[in-house]
Amino acid sequence: MEKKLICVILIAALTACSQNKNSDAEASNSKGIDSLAPAQAARELPTGPDTNVKITQEYASLAAKEAYFWAWPLVNMYNRRMAFKDVKELALSGPLLMAPLNQFTMLTDYVIPTERAIACPNQDVVYGIGCLALDQSPVVVQVPDFGKRFWVYQIVDLRTESFAKLGKMYDNKPGFYLLAGPDWKGEVPKGIIKVFRSSTNTGLVGPRVFLDDTKEDRKAIQEVLKSVVMYPLSDYDGKMKTIDWANIKKLPGGEGGKEEAVWVNPQTFFDELPVVLADAKPLPGEEAKYKQILAVVEAAKKDPKLKQAMIDAAVETERQVIKPLMEFRSWGIQLPFHWSGVTNGASWGTDYFTRTAVAKSNILVNAPNETRYFYQDLDSEGGRLNSSNKYKITFAKGQLPPVNGFWSLTLYNEHHFFEINKLNRYSLGTKNKTMAYNPDGSLTIYIQLVPTDAKTQNNWLPAVEKGDFSLYLRTYWPKEEVVNGKWTPPAVIKVE
């Protein structure tokens, strides 16, 4: 009995000793891990590339190609601001609207067909345009009482992202609204209804006010247009200002070529990029992207061969990657009957591909709840739309584009601009009150170079004189079935 008891005591003692050793070992390991933690914490990872490291031309070329693509819209907008920086007064230069920074100039009728500053203009609204320089001053935007007339102010930043909601769909009250830059800390004056803050100092404002294609409405719209005005905060006095836009200075010139004016030049792109990126602070997750390309740009300042490699890469990217984006069929959400579109207009975030595709083909689109756009390069069989053929598009009874505002179908040449025709007609839609409906209540639009018969001439959308063209369907203030994708346009049928 005593022997058994002694054995039990010995086993218990040995077990306790083993447990103590394990505990000591665990404590020792824990202390060892803890002692490493401060050393690891002290070893901070680099936040960007080591600028003392020599880089190769091949790497500089690679970095340049990527940056040229994703920053293309930002440099585009920057150069539009630069084009206005020396303008001293409100004026029309041929078809171009000219205004000092932080002001805009308004038209009093549809845009002139020879306009080449912004691709895909429309002849459904009276446009205004002006560039923002919010680092110089906040600006006041006046909203008059438009009554039942549709209106929307497009207000975008350097990234072409919308940062203000002003339009019929938002039920804004008439009055004064303030646009401020990211660093403005001033006092908001009495009488300002709302402040919209931009994430960048550079931006653009483009009012759009619907106009019926009638003499009566052209006369009726003039009075309200006089109060569509923008000016620096220092000019604000709480009283509605007016400008007789019909009588502003008219200057010669302003006529462009066949294509859109060049706003992005590969030769100067990387000289401008540091200034552009200093204005457009990196979005979350973009910090490393910014530091990488800025380090390469800095290295290229000291090495002409690196600089030339970057320029060559930009030229190649422009030709091989950017230019093909002019073709609507090359990108976008693919819809029935070869239509396409996007659902994140003016709110791109880090969707660099779509942002650049839209900037190249039809820059300055509205947010989807303001306007949904549908693009078409092809007929129902997949053939390229061309003036050598005749086409028609028929909206079934009750299936016109569902909108609270208005809709229109516009025809553009291969460069996404108007080509002058004898009718001076470039779109058909809500504004056209004399289109004829079919006996079954449907509506057919005829798209061809030669005139249609007398009965359908009001439904004729003239094609370009020669070559390929595109169709562009706008739905301003679209209803829910357009926004959620349940409604899409009907097929464009080639007529044999």
**Which CATH number fits the domain that encloses residue 82?**
2.60.40.1610
Of 323, 339, 354, the residue at which a domain comes to its end is: 323
pLDDT of amino acid 3: 42
Beta sheet of 249-251, edge-to-edge order: 96-98, 91-93, 249-251
pLDDT of amino acid 13: 41
342 with 289, same domain: the answer is: no
pLDDT of amino acid 272: 98
Tell me if 81 sits within 8 A of 75, measured CB to CB.
Answer: no
pLDDT of amino acid 119: 98
210 with 343, same domain: the answer is: no
**For the chain, what is the largest distance between any 2 Cα atoms, rounded to a whole number of angstroms?**
126
Cβ neighbours of residue 400 closer than 8 Å, sequence gap 6 or more: 407, 443
Per-residue pLDDT tens listing for the chain (496 residues): 444 433 433 334 434 444 444 444 444 444 444 444 555 555 788 889 999 999 999 999 999 999 999 999 999 999 999 999 999 999 999 999 999 999 999 999 999 999 999 999 999 999 999 999 999 999 999 999 999 999 999 999 999 999 999 999 999 999 999 999 999 999 999 999 999 999 999 999 999 999 999 999 999 999 999 999 999 999 999 999 999 999 999 998 766 789 999 999 999 999 999 999 999 999 999 999 999 999 999 999 999 999 999 999 999 999 999 999 999 999 999 999 999 999 999 999 999 999 999 999 999 999 999 999 999 999 999 999 999 999 999 999 999 999 999 999 999 999 999 999 999 999 999 999 999 999 999 999 999 999 999 999 999 999 999 999 999 999 999 999 999 999 999 999 999 8
Domain count, the chain: 2
Tell me if 149 sits within 8 A of 209, measured CB to CB.
Answer: yes
pLDDT of amino acid 257: 86
244 with 162, same domain: the answer is: yes
- Written as six digits, the tokens of 168 are 């019929």
315 with 334, same domain: the answer is: no
Beta sheet of 105-106, edge-to-edge order: 105-106, 125-133, 202-210, 151-157, 166-167
Is the residue at 19 inside a domain?
no
pLDDT of amino acid 7: 41
- For the whole model, what pTM was predicted? 0.91
List pLDDT tens digits, range 93-128.
999 999 999 999 999 999 999 999 999 999 999 999
Distance CA 409, CA 411 (A): 7
Distance CA 85, CA 131 (A): 9
- Ramachandran quadrant class, 217 (left: phi over 0; alpha: psi -120 to 50; beta: rest): alpha
CATH of the domain at 437: 2.60.120.600
Distance CA 377, CA 57 (A): 39
Burial class (CB in 10 A: 0-12, 13-18, 19+), 23: exposed
Could you say which DSSP state residue 265 is in? -
Per-residue burial over 160-185, b if 16 or more Cβ lie within 10 Å, else e, is bbbbbbbbbbeebeebbbbbbbeebe
pLDDT of amino acid 4: 41
265 with 361, same domain: the answer is: no
Is the residue at 63 inside a domain?
yes
pLDDT of amino acid 40: 52
Of 323, 341, 375, the residue at which a domain comes to its end is: 323
pLDDT of amino acid 16: 42
Query: Any bridge partners for residue 195, and if so which?
Result: 178
- φ, ψ (nearest 5 deg) of residue 217: -75, -30
117 with 148, same domain: the answer is: yes
Instruction: State how far the alpha carbon of 310 is from the alpha carbons of 160, 265, 296, 360, in Å.
Output: 25, 13, 9, 21
313 with 338, same domain: the answer is: no
Tell me if 292 sits within 8 A of 63, measured CB to CB.
Answer: yes
Is the residue at 75 inside a domain?
yes
CA dihedral 345, 346, 348, 352 (to 10 degrees): 90
- Written as six digits, the tokens of 118 are 């912004």
Q: Which of 133, 197, 210, 110 is nearest to 167 (CA)?
A: 210
Of 308, 323, 338, the residue at which a domain comes to its end is: 323
Is the residue at 318 inside a domain?
yes
272 with 375, same domain: the answer is: no
Is the residue at 117 inside a domain?
yes
pLDDT of amino acid 420: 95
- Written as six digits, the tokens of 22 are 């394990």
Is the residue at 39 inside a domain?
no
Domain hosting 488: range is 328-495
Tell me if 146 sits within 8 A of 224, measured CB to CB.
Answer: yes
pLDDT of amino acid 444: 98
390 with 313, same domain: the answer is: no
Q: Which of 267, 203, 269 is nearest to 67 (CA)?
A: 269
61 with 206, same domain: the answer is: yes
Tell me if 377 sits within 8 A of 385, measured CB to CB.
Answer: yes
Is the residue at 10 inside a domain?
no
Q: Which residue type, as a one-letter code, is found at position 444?
A: T
Burial class (CB in 10 A: 0-12, 13-18, 19+), 459: buried
391 with 432, same domain: the answer is: yes
Is the residue at 3 inside a domain?
no
Q: For residue 335, how far is the Cα from the chain centroid? A: 21
Distance CA 319, CA 316 (A): 5
Residues 312, 317, 320, CA angle at the centre, nearest 5°?
A: 120
Could you say which DSSP state residue 273 is in? H
pLDDT of amino acid 19: 45
238 with 369, same domain: the answer is: no
